[in-house]
């Protein structure tokens, strides 16, 4: 299964929920379990991950020129706790989550019509840690994080053109800068809603998928592999794409 459906587990003792746009649908009844609203039109694919020091994961969505971060309030509401303006007329792009420095808090990787952005949750917004020019028209795409050169460290892969409405451009790969390192990552990204255990290294699909929670907790980000150290590492971002 692929597309605009993503599993969300705010409490490991309960059944996993499925966010669809700004609603969380609970199986097996498929009733609306909780919902939130945005102030803009459009809905990209929802992403889930722990983006702050609060212990439970958040749900992130993109709407027209806006990023949104929701948190379950324990009842029937998804409370919007984060938002920021971006340049995305489609309102349908996606966000990639990855813990680059292994501090158990995931960073956000996002490319709008003007920039590739690495962001963090702070206050009620998502300020840039670093931004690089990467202009493009937008639709349903998002950056990916993979180990493209087998060096044991994650790279960011995205596309960019020469204008904010470009439909063609160059594939751009960003690595760590200033002699720093990043967390390890899978070498493959096989589909839109990729996760760490839904594909084997030889691109075959496992008949029975492993539980992505252990040993990938607490970050549980897409296509991440177990960290090489239990301590945070120092990382930065290269200003020149490879």
Taking a C-beta distance cutoff of 8 angstroms, is the pair 107, 118 a contact? Answer: yes
- Cα dihedral 98, 99, 104, 107, rounded to 10, equals -70
Task: Indicate whether 9 pLDDT > 90.
Answer: no
CA 90 to CA 140: how far, in whole Å?
A: 8
Q: Per-residue pLDDT averaged across 31-38, rounded?
A: 74
Longest dimension (CA), the chain: 52
For residue 210, the model assigns a pLDDT of 79
242 band by pLDDT with thresholds 50, 70 and 90: low
Q: Which of 7-11, 23-27, 45-49, 205-209 has the highest mean pLDDT?
A: 205-209
Q: For 92-136, how does the pLDDT look when each residue is reduced to its tens digit (9 = 90+)?
A: 888 999 999 888 889 999 999 999 999 999 999 999 999 998 888
Phi, then psi, of 205 in degrees rounded to 5: -100, 125
Residues in the chain: 242
Taking a C-beta distance cutoff of 8 angstroms, is the pair 24, 6 a contact? Answer: no
Token pair of 61 as six digits: 């969505």
Taking a C-beta distance cutoff of 8 angstroms, is the pair 95, 67 a contact? Answer: yes
Q: For 73-91, how does the pLDDT look when each residue is reduced to its tens digit (9 = 90+)?
A: 777 788 899 999 999 998 8
**Could you write out the DSSP letters of every residue in 109-131?**
EEE-SSEEEEE--BTTB--EEEE
Task: Indicate whether 2 pLDDT > 50.
Answer: no
**Could you write out the DSSP letters of every residue in 31-45?**
EEEEE---SSS----
CB atoms within 10 A of CB 180: 16
**Could you write out the DSSP letters of every residue in 133-197?**
E-B---SS---EEE-TTSSSS-EEEEEEBSSTT-S--EEEEE---TT-----B-S---STT--TT
7 band by pLDDT with thresholds 50, 70 and 90: low
The pTM for the full model equals 0.79
Q: For 205-231, how does the pLDDT look when each residue is reduced to its tens digit (9 = 90+)?
A: 888 887 766 554 433 455 555 554 444
Task: Indicate whether 28 pLDDT > 60.
Answer: no
Average pLDDT, the chain: 78
Q: For 173-201, how does the pLDDT look when each residue is reduced to its tens digit (9 = 90+)?
A: 998 877 777 888 888 888 776 777 888 88
65 band by pLDDT with thresholds 50, 70 and 90: very high
Residue 153 or 228, more confident: 153
Q: In whole angstroms, what separates CA 84 from the centre of its chain?
A: 16
Query: In this prediction, what percent of the chain has a pLDDT beyond 70?
Result: 72
The CA-based angle 187-192-196, given to 5 degrees, is 45
Taking a C-beta distance cutoff of 8 angstroms, is the pair 195, 145 a contact? Answer: no
Taking a C-beta distance cutoff of 8 angstroms, is the pair 57, 8 a contact? Answer: yes
């Amino acid at each position: 299964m692929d597309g605009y459906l993503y599993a969300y587990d705010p409490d490991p003792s309960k059944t996993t929920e499925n966010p669809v746009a700004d609603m969380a649908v609970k199986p097996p009844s498929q009733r609306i379990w909780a919902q939130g609203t945005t102030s803009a039109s459009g809905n990209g694919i929802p992403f889930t991950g722990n983006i702050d020091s609060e212990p439970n994961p958040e749900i992130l969505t993109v709407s027209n020129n806006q990023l949104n971060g929701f948190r379950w309030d324990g009842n029937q509401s998804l409370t919007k706790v984060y938002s920021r303006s971006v340049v995305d007329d489609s309102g349908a792009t996606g966000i990639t989550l990855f813990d680059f420095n292994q501090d158990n808090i995931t960073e956000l990787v996002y490319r709008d019509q003007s920039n590739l952005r690495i962001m963090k949750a702070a206050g009620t917004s998502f300020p840039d840690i670093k931004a690089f020019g990467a202009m493009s028209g937008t639709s349903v795409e998002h950056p990916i994080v993979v180990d493209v050169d087998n060096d044991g460290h994650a790279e960011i892969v995205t596309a960019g053109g020469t204008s904010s409405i470009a439909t063609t451009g160059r594939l751009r790969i960003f690595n760590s800068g200033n002699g720093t390192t990043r967390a390890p990552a899978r070498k493959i990204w096989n589909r839109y809603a990729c996760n760490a255990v839904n594909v084997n290294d030889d691109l075959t699909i496992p008949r029975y998928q492993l539980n992505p929670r252990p040993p990938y907790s607490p970050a549980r980000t897409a296509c991440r592999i177990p960290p090489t150290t239990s301590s945070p590492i120092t990382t930065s971002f290269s200003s020149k794409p490879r």
